[in-house]
A and B are shown apart, each in its own frame.
Chain A
């Protein structure tokens, strides 16, 4: 069928027309092969602009359309839909960028116009090779998996469950609540963390639509948006949760002790333990690495005590497979270990604490039952709080952890409140960042409580005469300071979980430079990822305080629900395709595919694309020497013709002379198909 191409050159107000002679470009396009109509217009994306295209398709019988305007990332969909409304397959459109790639970055109007002509010529050459492509609709399974049951995972799960969809909530710890369960009070309202989080935790355990799996990890995920298959590993708890009443008798008699992870190493726990009396679920867990019965077949006292016979030392790990439509990752964060920052003496001096340890000191069920006391049992007379430990520091994390200023203020208040108003509290800060609702007001309040703020990152902490001396500079006064205190709290950075890379691999998501999971777009897609159907919730995407984590989690839940509610999802047809007649079966593409979307057919000895998993990234096509693997809509014919158009020498093109001069003009033609040097 003869090609009839319509070309539409957009002025974008003065964005393009300010540099590019749009009318000239449209005139030039009229002379190109197979172009039936060529027009320029002030705003192609406006309704009249789109109507113009639709009318031309109908009246002139156009079977290909080129729009030269802004980036395809902005309006390709708009014009594809306009084509579709006129009955033309949307993939018979080529959207070219003469704004970001041309008018905005070219100083000379004549050069800009010449470049726009090249770009349009490339589009016209390319669009002739376009083929009709059709999206596929696939079903979305109704269940959702949420990974991580901190406050973000809890929020996401509750939101999803409320809509009637089933949630499979996986938590690697023995109980849910995450870091928030370790906190005492929360800024700026000073709500007790347990008082506001326990109701949500209980709601999770009682919600019939939530299948809560603690002490479990997702081991493997396969499939694609709408149809994920996740394998969950249940670690042996050694206690039958169906029988255990959570009476806690076993906890008292166990003779084996270990440092408590939940208390950040400040206290001890037993080999059979649970994080707190309010733990959800309140079934304890036996630490199989230290339990004398499991390791040496001695003791066994818990079994003799247990009134319901729930203890089972023979329990083995099990695996369970779930089929879900989408996955919400709420795997949270870790706090940085400040030991490598030797200048602050953590691990060397007894009275240097991390922020999370200090939370445990404050907590009513913590190692000191909520009293802020030193290791010798006495109350500190003075406390230094050091901000930005590992944050805003090129040697550790360049980013701001966003929560430390506020929890430091909370500590200021709690120390004054619990230890006494005469306690001296010194904050060493770089900047105070109190940007949330009610945060600045809280800062003001704490300042009025008589807390000292010293601007400057301390150089070191030394021990002198039984006191810790914080050595630093007050950069506002411009003088060195040496502040003797009894206790130091390090506001350690929030960082990506230690196993983040492994988790990212399992779920097929990417990590940003900061190590946290990478969102699809930093502003407009903060909860989705490059992998369709995998969403983010909370601090696994970046440092967040509780309100932000909860809001983010509800966003992730809404995305998952949007998929589940519609029940189908459309799969882009611009995927790779491997020509079975040409594929030589070298398997290299199988290893290169970042989405595990290529399988090897052993019988036919060829590679086969799973179109539902393929993102059309082109890694396979880029390698494949015979061109067996090609991306639909970006195949070699289309790209070569586009290049040919780009390199087409226009009559009257301003000569571009640079150092490489004549050679560069020659070089531009060499790679053109058919153009020998």
Chain B
């Protein structure tokens, strides 16, 4: 049985309690720093921040319903190559899953990092978070968002709801973390359960001398109903998107507002290339080529290669798509990119029986050769 301890909440402030917990972690000799979302200014988005001085943790807000960016790529930067010091990273489940994919691709390492996963109740996209916040104090807004019991509060505030990616996310509980903070079902104004889910987590927790808890009762039930509701949303979203993008003409219309800014690629945690092929000379066309293409049909939309870009990204990363929704968050023109990619990913991941982030031992489908794969497709060639 894994160790389960509790963080005592005083003064009805679970955020303060979590800050205390993180200070405890940072005080541990084995941890040199903590990557955690921190409110750096009075207003605005909390940003992923590498904290080494526990005094600076007073701005930390791991529960803020804000998701400025997927930290998987940042953690990859912090762990690729040796830093000499172990850090802890407070991550959402989709950030952990994306990081696992990056580790498989040699972009980061789990060797010197303790992953603290937090049950995710969802987050607003960056523009909605501002509306959600209104004039309220950032920390107070976080406390209001969660209410008394984690996962029970309504998520619509000031006319905005959490991001559609979060509404249709079936992974609110962290996988492959070392330590899990069990927000779901917890009486947040009393105590928060913390579970060790690896040997490393076990060692760390036992050093903190936190009181044991009988069980994180209520968590499983809350997660269950949360997941059930999200799967209903997800399936409806997939159906709707499929209907909207079934033909090339429909797909073009779906993406018609795309201005080739490539923000979705920059925001995507699993798009791991140093230099995207769309930035290389392969797509540096000559003036006469544009003229020829225009002449073929009488007109040519500029910039070109828009559909090609999105199709290429689907081919490259749909098997690794964790559905974090940062692509939609990053789109300046409100294109529902997440919906499109999750719809394609649902099919490609099912085809390979692959779930990104599920296990480090599962190789990315395109990195391995299986002779007997897709017999129904290739058997006619035998």
Contact = CB atoms under 8 A, between A and B. Distances in A.
B296 A581 contact: no
A587 B277 contact: no
B274 A584 contact: yes
A60 interface: no
Given A673-B285, A674-B289, A626 B301 contact: no
Interface string B279-290: 011110100111
A667 B304 CA distance: 16
A591 B368 CA distance: 7
B106 A673 contact: no
Interface in A575-623: 581-588, 591-592, 605, 623
A674 B291 CA distance: 10
B51 to A, nearest CB: 28
Interface string B241-273: 000000111011000000000000000000011
Interface size for chain A: under 10, 10 to 19, 20 to 34, or 35 or more residues?
A: 35 or more
B108 to A, nearest CB: 11
Nearest to A585: B106
A258 to B, nearest CB: 37
Nearest to A625: B316
A669 interface: yes
- Residue among B308, B316, B366 with the highest chain A CB neighbour number at 10 A: B308
Interface in A620-666: 623, 625-628, 636-637, 640, 644, 648-649, 663, 666
Interface residues of B, number: 43
A592 B369 contact: yes
A648 B296 CA distance: 8
Given A670-B248, A674-B285, A626 B305 contact: no
Contact of A675 (B293, B311, B364): B293
A80 interface: no
B5 to A, nearest CB: 38
B149 interface: no
A137 B106 CA distance: 35
B106 A586 contact: yes
B154 to A, nearest CB: 41
B249 A674 contact: no
A583 to B, nearest CB: 7
B228 interface: no
Nearest to B252: A677
B281 A637 contact: yes
Contacts of B277: 625-627, 636
Interface in A387-415: none
A621 B116 CA distance: 37
Interface in B74-111: 80-81, 105-107
B290 A677 contact: no
Contacts of B275: 581-582, 626, 628
Contacts of B316: 625
A671 interface: yes
A676 interface: yes
A429 B118 CA distance: 74
B209 interface: no
A33 interface: yes
A197 interface: no
B364 A636 contact: no
B198 interface: no
Contact of A637 (B248, B282, B364): B282
A666 B296 CA distance: 12
Contacts of B106: 585-587, 605
A626 B105 CA distance: 13
A647 B252 CA distance: 19
Contact of A625 (B107, B273, B293): B273
A626 B293 contact: no
Contact of A588 (B308, B311, B366): B366
Contacts of B292: 648
A637 B289 CA distance: 13
Contact of A583 (B274, B290, B300, B306): B274
A123 B308 CA distance: 23
A89 interface: no
A673 B369 contact: no
A676 B306 contact: yes
A672 interface: yes
Contacts of A591: 367-368
B307 interface: yes
A586 B248 contact: no
B274 A674 contact: no
Which among A582, A583, A587, A623 has the highest number of chain B CB atoms within 10 Å?
A582
Top 9 closest A-B pairs, CB basis? A626-B273, A586-B105, A674-B304, A625-B316, A627-B277, A677-B252, A588-B367, A584-B274, A636-B282
30 contacts: A582-B273, A582-B280, A585-B106, A586-B272, A588-B367, A591-B368, A592-B369, A605-B106, A625-B316, A626-B276, A626-B277, A626-B280, A627-B282, A640-B282, A663-B248, A669-B297, A670-B307, A671-B308, A671-B311, A673-B308, A674-B285, A674-B290, A674-B305, A676-B252, A676-B301, A676-B305, A676-B307, A677-B248, A677-B251, A677-B307
